[in-house]
Chain A
Amino acid sequence: MTDTLGDLVACDDILMFANAAVTATGARDFHDDAATRALSLDFLHEYMRVNYRRLYAASLALDVNDHNAGLMIAGLLATRPDGEAHPDETALIMAALRRMTPPRVYRLFRRLRGSRVNNRRTRAVIRDWLAGRPLALDAVKYRTGLKVAVRHAHLSLPEELARFLFGDHRRPFTDPLLNDWWRAHYDQRAIYRLPFTVAEGFAARHGIPRDRFLAGIEDRLTGLERLRLRDTRTRHGLSNADLSQAPLQRICAYVLSLTTAQRRDRRAELSSALRTAAARIVAGRRLPGTVVAVLDDSYSSLGSPQRRNRPLAVALAAHHILAAWAEDYRGLWLSRSRDPLLVTPRGASGIGGRVIDALELRPDHLIIVSDGWDNSPPGLAKAVLGAWRRRIDVARQTAVVHLNPGYDPRRYDVRRLADGVPTIGIRDAADIPALVELAGFAEGRRGMAELHAHLDLRVARLLGRGHDDRSAALPPPRTTRPDGRARPDLGHRPHGPAAAGETRSPDPAVPSRTRRTLGRGLLRR
């Protein structure tokens, strides 16, 4: 290894940042309030952006959560890319934006407006992202967000959309959705053709009884809205779709929101939904050998009122995935509960004692899902794992990995259990198979070259240059040029001088764009 000290520091910083960007959110957590976390995250992002701008931009290709992606994009757009910048920085920003949910993106645009970031590149990014959106839907559903974005990027909209957002509503619209919104003020039937969140307001305005409204709007519900409204619908005597269609971690959060009595009553339904959803993630793969998991259901897995039960939901989802994935699996809860369906966040975190129990089963894989606050007694897990590594399992037959769903703002990283045990930030339990396979290789020290190679691979995948199921899942660019040719994917655009005729673009990262109408003819510059 020819890494210099600087490389090693950079390597550590990147891994630390990757953990932080996967786990940290803007919401309050069990151990810290939102302000502490925001302060810590802001510093961490600035530190990374100033020191490793290239790698920082490349880590947009990792599975960072939307909150951090938003912070990264805001930071990158607010500062001028220098010589160290990633050649595909803007393309990475665009690709990351396409992965984010629209409300998050509109929130980001509002943030850019609030911090008065309005350079050419920012305007181009906003314009290009909006070109890929169904604007009529966004105008109805995210009206303020779209308004702010359009104003901020100095875009001019076609007459009808402009009139919808900024003008008078006295005349009907020709676009069916805009027209339905217009009609919904007077006509109750039109409400049911609108998105749920918009329709809800109209329903209240017309005084439509909740049960009639919920029955009528069913076809317009998104998957998550359907999940969120389950109990409300049951209360109003309506049937619900099969629970198992929802993502596993969402089902877990839903299960944890029920009382123990309700969980007992619906045991068959809930367990089968959990099993089906887990099997979908595992997709027939098999992890050979025995797997033992130590799962944290101490009081701190309550999370916070803003993210209620989230750490526990990750542990519960991990339990079900491992049960489906491993050939031989045992899950050990800290509370010694034997019934995973009935877990509640309660009691102290005696991780060390449970790790001893787990090691006694001589597993091939030991997986610890915990926030890393080992307090009963403090530091026992560290001592046990250290002694195990150094004195008993010297040949490293047991692969130990600690998956941590919580960010520790004081360390700018996830909290570690013990030296020599890789701790990886986890956001969604569905990533567990990938993380566990990765952990064996992460236990040894990674070199800078290896890290660069990994990031380059992820960047290539995100930009659609590699073979990866994730890039296939991305919506293809929906915009076409007026001349009918597909708009070139920004990711493929060679890095170099701007297209001929573009004399006003000194910044090579700004994608060239003609001043003609773009994207379904909706946006003009």
Chain B
Amino acid sequence: MIVDTGEEFVEAAYGTRLSVPGSRDPERRIRLHHRMHKRLDDVRFRFLPMHVAMEGFLLLQFGGPPVAWQEWSQHALHSGTAPRTETWHHGSGIDGLDEAMRRFEIHDGQCGVAVYIGDALASVFATPHPDDFRALYPALLDETYGELIARYAGHGDAVSDMEVRFDESAIRDLADIRRQAAAHTESWRRFHDDVMTADLFADRHVREIRAAGDFVLRRFTPTFTQTAECHIGEEIVDYDTGQVAYLKTFRLSQTQIRRGRLLTVLGDCGWRLSDAAARLRVTPEQFGIQLDRAGFGHLLKRHVLDGFRHRARR
């Protein structure tokens, strides 16, 4: 979350933090200078733009080679994968998202929303209280979305509604109609939870960041064992009941998934090139080229990469 204190700098928590009253750890705060998408002109809370969280997030995850294997460049040894830049699309640049958000009629008591763009789950956002949701709902437009989602938004027409259909042969009176309407709502809810959001929690690596009272703040990343649909995000849940008090997710694009997968494999193999290649069932040369294509060419020493390229060409 971002807190604008009305001073010269806007301060952001390094990801969402959870603390008990009275305790503070100021060294984990960052000051934002140029990274703000939009100047905050009034004193108010806003959620951290996802890309700030994201880049730091990937940095924490992928710190660089722990052992100085000879293939890695000086840069990789000193700075890990940094500087890492990812391209994101700002919500206002996604075709039709602003209109869809303006037209959406917030339900009474609604605390969260799953944003689908072209029937693809772009983000899930949940808050503890309906009033929080109403207040923070417009901030969804200030969020960043992956490249994939931006492409989907540009494609074609509106997705058609899932319309209610009754089995009219079974209808004899109004009670039947009411029953079928309720059954439809229930089956739609099940379909949504089981099918539409199936990949959200399917395959993730959860790290508990901090606990406060009954609640715990957790961040999750995909394990990248599957490549279908990967989400990263953070959540605050009740420790005992598992009930979600805050949730924010972000869908990675295919390129980001490929990069994440390569880095995860590298990390698992202690950044040993030959092991990582064996894990992915490719030759070290092919793995090196994959790294290069994923934008990590600078991590390898120049002559090593050139050697890979030369051998791959033959």
Contact = CB atoms under 8 A, between A and B. Distances in A.
Contacts of B194: none
Interface stretch (A54-62, A206-214, A248-256, A386-394): A386-394
Contact of B163 (A379, A384, A391, A392): A379
A140 to B, nearest CB: 42
Interface string A333-375: 0010000000000111100110010011000000000000001
Given A356-B181, A387-B177, A31 B171 contact: no
B37 to A, nearest CB: 24
A300 interface: yes
A353 B181 contact: yes
A291 B174 CA distance: 18
B164 A378 contact: yes
Contacts, number: 74
26 contacts: A298-B105, A299-B105, A346-B108, A347-B105, A348-B105, A349-B105, A352-B181, A356-B178, A359-B174, A375-B105, A377-B164, A377-B185, A378-B161, A379-B161, A379-B163, A379-B164, A379-B165, A383-B164, A383-B166, A387-B177, A388-B177, A391-B168, A391-B172, A392-B171, A392-B173, A392-B174
Contacts of A360: 174
Interface string B83-113: 0000000000000000000010111100000
B108 A352 contact: no
B177 A382 contact: no
A299 B188 CA distance: 23
B177 A377 contact: no
Nearest to B169: A391
B99 to A, nearest CB: 9
Interface of B: 103, 105-108, 161-166, 168, 171-174, 177-178, 181, 184-185, 188
Contacts of A347: 105-108
Given A387-B168, A387-B171, A391-B168, A380 B181 contact: yes
Contacts of A390: 168
A52 interface: no
Nearest to A380: B164
Contacts of A379: 161, 163-165
Contacts of A298: 105
Contact of A30 (B103, B174, B181): B103
Contacts of A335: 108
A376 B107 contact: yes
Contacts of B168: 386-387, 390-391
Contacts of A376: 105, 107
A485 B106 CA distance: 65
A378 B171 contact: no
Contacts of B161: 375, 378-379
Contacts of A382: 163-164
